[in-house]
Chain A
């Protein structure tokens, strides 16, 4: 099938991960992280998702 699934998969993780990471940077030390025990989940998990998205996107482009 003409479209490699890894492209849209990589893209959506890049975008959502990017949004979360940027938002995490701007909300460092915010009181709202009390619910996640002081861990800046947006920044950390956003970066993890960015990385995953990047790997998928590159793998999809290679073919």
Chain B
């Protein structure tokens, strides 16, 4: 692909600003609180945008576009059943304890509420996961730059991957090293607006091209344009999940587990200037988040609806479709301008076991950019894409350096050092986190299965977590021993469930069934949701039982940490539209409307 100087100029402006913000903020970084918690002085709307932007990494933009192209608008469940209710819940009910307890991190809250060992489990597993997540973002970005040929002709092709990794690492390192969390948050706000500015015209032109939403509805099968149709049974919807697994597994356990306990996002709310602001952060974030399906899922649907090939992009796939045998992508699954997957080494198209072409859905959004954007705005579109990758990386790195410094270094390595020492450690941890991310990115490159393995580990570790926080915040009887054993048995239950079940058409191994196959799920998504449900259930049960047999902490120690023992923060100084509850109800009303419109 050939980019003109004007495209490069736009990307360059962005990179100058990214680093410029780091330099501008450097002089404000005096204490470790400035560096790790942004001095707890950021306005709610800024934190709110950072709250969703930190999560808006490669997995979201590329993954949601790919799912939109593959499954249709049903992907919106990840937002309208998944993220939004969880974000409202954390703002309304959980933020007072995170912010009010003066904990500096989520693992630290666990130490205040429970004990040292529960914190240790969370701190270590979280630190490892952030490094790998950041590495995956880095890898995905380098792979995309390579696939699109962005640097073709500028650096030798064999070096493109390495150069991309190093460039992204240096830039992210630069702005976090200089300006800490404030720099990351400011850049995330920038990234948020750039992503909107880059994708909005794409959706506009794309919709014009396919004749609006009605045009899409006419071209695509009904299962792709309705989010609730066929949800009563796994075989009648494209996700292969039934409604209980969806609502309980995705909507409750996984989404609440992520949005309510993951320090990556909670850290953004903790940086807010007051407790009222901190509570509003996730709710403010929910407003744009609600409409993100139109920005990231819709392009995927448009990509498969576009039929007018401007160039002979995929002549082979069309002729093969005409030959009429059972293609994976027949009339029920059109592929539009989605390119075929190509083996990076041989350059030949990849075929599945039946000899049918495999489509690279991950390229849905990049291909849309190239298809619809002329020079100039193309630079903006690519900037938006790169911005999303970098925000994903930076979010993980800032969460890592905080947990490392406060929850691991200060707790187990060097307890009573000066604040200046921890500030210094934070900067060192930033370098360390970036170096580990690079190592993770190369690990993902060199081992085919590691991506699947990582996703498996993430889901095993995350699945039971929400039960620990739910019981901790809302049941004063919960004990540290209970939480600790519950967390471990919950993870073990997830592991066992994974070993005993398997998604349809998978072989026993990394996808499950490695102990013995006792149940087959219609899709890997269904298996994943049910693994989470089991892990959560076992954790809830074990924590409750063990807590009843162990000695609870005296109630005065739990004030500010548990719902029933904490006085409600007064709200009468807030006007009605500033109250978290009013805001949340407004969001909820729009959410119901969105679900009904696209049902």
Q: Which of B13, B310, B373 lies in contact with A16, CB distance below 8 A?
A: B13
Contacts of A49 in B (CB 8 A): 197
Complex CA gap A49/B376 in Å reads: 13
Complex CA gap A27/B375 in Å reads: 10
Q: Is the CB of B376 within 8 A of A12?
A: no
Q: Which of B21, B28, B39, B41 lies in contact with A8, CB distance below 8 A?
A: B21
Known: A1-B41, A8-B190, A19-B9. A39 touches B205 (CB 8 A): yes
Known: A8-B186, A13-B193, A19-B9. A35 touches B374 (CB 8 A): yes
Q: Is the CB of A35 within 8 A of B310?
A: yes
- A58 interface residue, CB < 8 Å from B? no
Specify the main secondary structure of chain B where it touches its partner. Answer: helix
Q: Is the CB of B13 within 8 A of A37?
A: no
- CB within 8 Å of A: which of B438-461? none
Specify the main secondary structure of chain A where it touches its partner. Answer: helix
Contacts of A35 in B (CB 8 A): 310, 371-374
Contacts of A33 in B (CB 8 A): 374
Interchain nearest-CB distance for A58 vs B (Å) = 16
The chain B residue with its CB closest to the CB of A39 is: B205
Q: Is the CB of A5 within 8 A of B189?
A: yes
Interchain nearest-CB distance for B50 vs A (Å) = 10
Bitwise, B429-442 to A at CB < 8 A (1) or not (0) is 00000000000000
Size bracket, chain A contacts: 20 to 34
- B423 interface residue, CB < 8 Å from A? no
Q: Is the CB of A41 within 8 A of B21?
A: no
Q: A5-B190, A8-B17, A16-B380 provided; 9 other pairs, C-beta below 8 A?
A: A3-B186, A8-B186, A15-B13, A16-B13, A19-B10, A36-B373, A37-B208, A41-B205, A42-B377
Contacts of A27 in B (CB 8 A): 376
Q: Is the CB of B42 within 8 A of A12?
A: no
- CB within 8 Å of B: which of A17-54? 19-20, 23-24, 27, 30, 32-37, 39, 41-42, 45-46, 49, 52
Q: Is the CB of A13 within 8 A of B197?
A: yes
Contacts of B194 in A (CB 8 A): 12
Contacts of A11 in B (CB 8 A): 17
- B201 interface residue, CB < 8 Å from A? yes
Q: Which of A2, A9, A13, A19 lies in contact with B28, CB distance below 8 A?
A: A2
Q: Is the CB of B20 within 8 A of A16?
A: no
On A, residues with C-beta under 8 Å from B are 1-3, 5, 8-9, 11-13, 15-16, 19-20, 23-24, 27, 30, 32-37, 39, 41-42, 45-46, 49, 52
The chain A residue with its CB closest to the CB of B24 is: A3
20 pairs from A and B in contact (CB 8 Å cutoff): A1-B182, A2-B27, A5-B46, A5-B186, A5-B189, A9-B189, A12-B13, A16-B380, A19-B6, A19-B376, A20-B377, A23-B376, A30-B374, A34-B310, A36-B372, A37-B205, A39-B208, A42-B377, A45-B197, A45-B380
Complex CA gap A1/B17 in Å reads: 18
Q: Is the CB of A9 within 8 A of B193?
A: yes
Contacts of B197 in A (CB 8 A): 13, 45, 49, 52
Interchain nearest-CB distance for B151 vs A (Å) = 21
The chain B residue with its CB closest to the CB of A21 is: B376
Known: A1-B41, A35-B372. A45 touches B190 (CB 8 A): no
Complex CA gap A42/B197 in Å reads: 12
Q: Is the CB of B201 within 8 A of A45?
A: yes
Q: Is the CB of B193 within 8 A of A1?
A: no
Q: Is the CB of B374 within 8 A of A32?
A: yes
Interchain nearest-CB distance for A22 vs B (Å) = 10
